Structure 1
Amino acid sequence: MRDYLILLVIIACIPLTLRRPFFGVLVWCWISYMVPHRLGWGFIQTLPIAAIIGLVFLVSYLFSKEPKRIPLHSPIVFLLLFNIWMVITFIMSVKDPYVLSQFEKIMKIQFFTLIILALLTSRQRIEQALWVVALSIGFYGVKGGIYTIQTAGGGRVWGPTGGFFYGNNELALTLLIIVPILFYLRYLVPANMRWLKLGLLAVMGLSVLAALGTQSRGGLVACICVGVFLWLKGPNKLAVALVILLATPVVYQFMPDRWHDRMATIIEPDRESYDGSVKGRFNAWEMAYNMAKDRPFGGGLNGFKAEHFYLYAPEPNRQHDSHSIYFQVMGHHGFIGFALWLAIYLSTWRSAKKTIKLTNKRDDLKWAALLAKMLQCSLIAYASGGAFLGLAYFDLPYHLVVTVVALQVVVKKQLAAEAAEKKQQQDQRLAEAGQPHPDRFKVQAPNSYE
């Protein structure tokens, strides 16, 4: 029954997507982040739902009057350069079936990310997309948070099968990325909708609890970083500080001894004291660095394979996945690819900072300043938690990038329109007063060809 219900909902979305391409963006985000077809039990799990919705959305977009150009701000320039470099490293690498499937998947994500950017043309659209993304992922935060309470922290929380964040480490990071976005969405809710404000607060709390319930050590590091930056960047610092100070000891005491024992291994006195999992990560990171030094194009999308460990790892027999976004990109695409990838996020942070500077002192644009700050908090979650797991190609961080760029475009468009209107009003007042326009007295530059 559940399979048929999900199928009916998806079928109902097709005509709406054909009529309104931006509705297709919302459906695509819902399919990508909630992966609802994986919640079924039968045939729905194997249907190519994402491919069907993606194809319908593309047809609708191509034949619509929606904008086809993307704003070439610095994060997008670096994103395009990184994509070009990935194509080059793909050409230079060994192309086994795994590499071919991964390359196709990554390019599809990048392609749809740029199309989404082209369609994020207003505040309303930016916020609608954020609502869908946050609530789609928040569903697993609520589900996981309740499970953590039921098991008193003893059961490990996992993400949806078939998604990017199925693993416990990946789920923890993904939930913590959306907490600042939920914080912003709660700010948008009118004061008279108290039930919705409380509901979003509950989703935030359960998502944090679910992230801790994954028993991910990287998740705890990301949780601390997000908490600090939410306090630094968010409004009502006293209220945020009180919530953090009151909730921290309660949650800490609630979690079982097994959780405390695992978290205690985050920092050890020396390398030999770490467990096999952490030692495997250290070995993989050194292998990635050595391989990048030897191979300018990196090891390709299947860089962390046995033969490369035998060539470049300090312990060839201790083979391990990258478990770090930084060393994943470095191992796959070399130092050039790593530099371009890092530049995407550094320039995104800088773009958000510029937006904050433009809007922070304006009451009518405080929403933009707060959103830019919360997106920075989400980037901090990705940068800190991602140091311990390989999610370099996950579409959510790229959605943060294009949202920051779209926000800056919307803000600059509004400021430019206000400046033009102000100038027009000034010209009109001068004309009504019979005074000459100031531009009449500007000295024209001599024509060098005369």
Structure 2
Amino acid sequence: MRDAILLSFTALCLVAALRHPFAGLLTWAWFTLMTPHQAAYGVYGVPLNVIIAGVVVAAYIVSGEITKFRFDPITSLIIAFAGWLTLSQIFSLAPENSEIYYDRFIKTLLFIVLCAQMAAGKLRFNAMVWTIVAAIGFFAAKGAVFTLATFGQYRVQGLPNTVLEDNNHFGIAVATILPLIFYLRAEAANPWIKRGLVVLFCLAIIAIVGTHSRGAFIALIVFGGFFWIRARHKFAILAGLMLVMIPTITFMPGEWSQRMRTIGEATQDDSFIGRVDAWVINWKLATAHPVTGVGLRNSYDKEIAQTVDIERAETAKAAHSIYFEVLGGSGFIGLFIYLSLFVYAFLSAWSVYLSKTNPKLAPWKWRFAYYAQMSLVVFAIGGASTSMEMWDGYLIIIALISALKKIAVAEQKPAGFALAAARARNWRGRKRFEDLHEESAEAR
């Protein structure tokens, strides 16, 4: 039954995509973020996401929407990063190992480029934001209920066989969407939707705590601190956060409290030491292969790791850092492009937010820019201890910042051009009237 429902709904979405390619892009985002086919066992393993991607790309070309493709700095950086990953794969030390991750990352970047180009207009834009929040928020609400039902005795995990399966990854992903929940609440007109988003926000906090992830808890604290610093009603915000967090933390078992206390004793924690070993290995691999790196996640290979550090290769596995993953896999140039993408996206959002006093700029634009900055900061700090560089969620936020910047510029320029054109028409009209008046006077 699940299979029939999923296939029928997907087929309807793809039919709609033939006329409206963005509908297909939303379906692609849904499959990427939620992987619903994993819950339909009969179609599990069927490459539905590949089929959806193919239909979206074909519809994008056939519909003529591709003619609206515009290069901007963020799009250019994404394409440059994809190109550098391709070069790294060509010179990979173990291409058969890195190929699966390269393929996954390239497909993700293709999707992100399309998001940056197709999320034009408020309706499309907010539809994509709702897709992110609904997809991650569903699992967050489910995790919160699980935490409350088990009295926090067990860790909340993400969906199996996905990027977010690990409790650390899942917790940081939920922390990343917290600012977007506030954005949607500000945009919602229906009071029940506003209340529902507040409930979702509270459940998301409970889910983050329920992951037992120290990295996710730090990301939550970063969000709270960043939001408090920039909020106008600081004490009201602080009281609201404490009203949710204090009962939740009190509710958690003593094991959770002991685990969180080890944050201040990281140098004595085996898990943290293992991460440091992985960081050192990726640094040494990048130093040995500074231009292209060794190929995505080849540092996981014990034989490759032993070429630079025999002792640490015995314990180090995943890089546990988006930055060291990229550094070891694509070298210093790849990391530079990757960091440039983060920095430029943040500065672009900042520039839109600073333009909020411009009467031509719609409030929803600077509001999203305001909250998107928070999301990027939360993920950038949380991602320093996790291997989430291939997660679509934060990249979608970067793509939306790119689209937002283009929308803001495109909507302001025509107004200026229209004003200039009107002035020109008025000048030509007055000139013509004066000429006619002079001709009439001469005739008399």
Amino acid at match of 2:4: Y
Q: 1:361 to 1:240 in 2, by over 3 A?
A: farther
CA displacement 1:22-68 (0-9 Å, x = unmatched): 1101111111111111223x212222221121122222222102134
User: Are 1:119 and 2:114 an aligned pair?
Assistant: no
Q: Superposition pairs for residues 12-411 of structure 1, below 5 Å?
A: 12-40=12-40, 42-190=41-189, 193-233=190-230, 236-268=233-265, 271=267, 273-274=268-269, 276-296=270-290, 297-301=292-296, 302-313=298-309, 315-362=312-359, 365-411=362-408
Mean Cα deviation higher: 154-163 or 237-246: 237-246
User: Matched residues in 1 for 2:358 and 2:420: separation?
Assistant: 22
TM-fit CA distance, 1:315:
2.6
The two structures have a TM-score, normalised by structure 2, of: 0.91
Amino acid at match of 1:413: A
1:277 partner SS:
helix
User: Matched residues in 2 for 1:413 and 1:257: separation?
Assistant: 55
Q: 1:28 to 1:426 in 2, by over 3 A?
A: same
TM-fit CA distance, 1:304:
2.7
User: Matched residues in 2 for 1:81 and 1:352: separation?
Assistant: 21
Q: 1:359 to 1:309 in 2, by over 3 A?
A: same
TM-fit CA distance, 1:248:
2.8
Q: 1:300 to 1:204 in 2, by over 3 A?
A: same
Amino acid at match of 1:60: A
Residue number in structure 1 paired with 2:438: none
Amino acid at match of 1:184: Y
Amino acid at match of 2:370: K
Amino acid at match of 2:10: I
User: Matched residues in 1 for 2:412 and 2:253: separation?
Assistant: 53
> Residues 153 and 253 of structure 2 are in contact (CA less than 8 Å); yes or no, is this contact kept in structure 1?
yes
TM-fit CA distance, 1:436:
11
User: Matched residues in 2 for 1:386 and 1:237: separation?
Assistant: 27
TM-fit CA distance, 1:395:
1.8
> Residues 176 and 223 of structure 1 are in contact (CA less than 8 Å); yes or no, is this contact kept in structure 2?
yes
Q: 1:267 to 1:158 in 2, by over 3 A?
A: same
> Residues 234 and 374 of structure 1 are in contact (CA less than 8 Å); yes or no, is this contact kept in structure 2?
no
Q: 1:234 to 1:408 in 2, by over 3 A?
A: farther
User: Matched residues in 1 for 2:119 and 2:184: separation?
Assistant: 17
Q: 1:410 to 1:251 in 2, by over 3 A?
A: same
> Residues 233 and 374 of structure 1 are in contact (CA less than 8 Å); yes or no, is this contact kept in structure 2?
no
CA displacement 1:64-85 (0-9 Å, x = unmatched): 0213454333222222222221
> Residues 327 and 335 of structure 2 are in contact (CA less than 8 Å); yes or no, is this contact kept in structure 1?
yes
Q: 1:361 to 1:259 in 2, by over 3 A?
A: farther
CA displacement 1:257-309 (0-9 Å, x = unmatched): 111111111121x73x21x2211101111111122112122221122321233
User: Matched residues in 2 for 1:76 and 1:96: separation?
Assistant: 27
Q: Aligned pairs, how many?
A: 431
Structure with bigger helix share is: 2
> Residues 156 and 207 of structure 2 are in contact (CA less than 8 Å); yes or no, is this contact kept in structure 1?
yes
Residue number in structure 1 paired with 2:440: none
Residue number in structure 1 paired with 2:11: 11
Q: 1:72 to 1:359 in 2, by over 3 A?
A: farther
The two structures have a TM-score, normalised by structure 1, of: 0.90
> Residues 330 and 337 of structure 1 are in contact (CA less than 8 Å); yes or no, is this contact kept in structure 2?
yes
Amino acid at match of 1:18: L
Amino acid at match of 1:293: T
1:312 partner SS:
coil
TM-fit CA distance, 1:184:
0.4
Amino acid at match of 2:350: K
> Residues 148 and 209 of structure 1 are in contact (CA less than 8 Å); yes or no, is this contact kept in structure 2?
yes
User: Matched residues in 2 for 1:118 and 1:309: separation?
Assistant: 39
Q: Superposition pairs for residues 406-425 of structure 1, below 5 Å?
A: 406-425=403-422
> Residues 205 and 244 of structure 2 are in contact (CA less than 8 Å); yes or no, is this contact kept in structure 1?
no
TM-fit CA distance, 1:431:
5.1
CA displacement 1:394-420 (0-9 Å, x = unmatched): 222221111111101101111112212
> Residues 305 and 313 of structure 2 are in contact (CA less than 8 Å); yes or no, is this contact kept in structure 1?
yes
> Residues 430 and 436 of structure 1 are in contact (CA less than 8 Å); yes or no, is this contact kept in structure 2?
no
Mean Cα deviation higher: 174-183 or 65-74: 65-74
Amino acid at match of 2:26: L
Residue number in structure 2 paired with 1:448: none
TM-fit CA distance, 1:354:
1.3
> Residues 299 and 318 of structure 2 are in contact (CA less than 8 Å); yes or no, is this contact kept in structure 1?
no
TM-fit CA distance, 1:371:
0.3
Q: Gaps spanning 5+ residues in structure 1: where?
A: 438-450
Amino acid at match of 2:27: V
Q: 1:210 to 1:428 in 2, by over 3 A?
A: same
> Residues 285 and 293 of structure 2 are in contact (CA less than 8 Å); yes or no, is this contact kept in structure 1?
yes
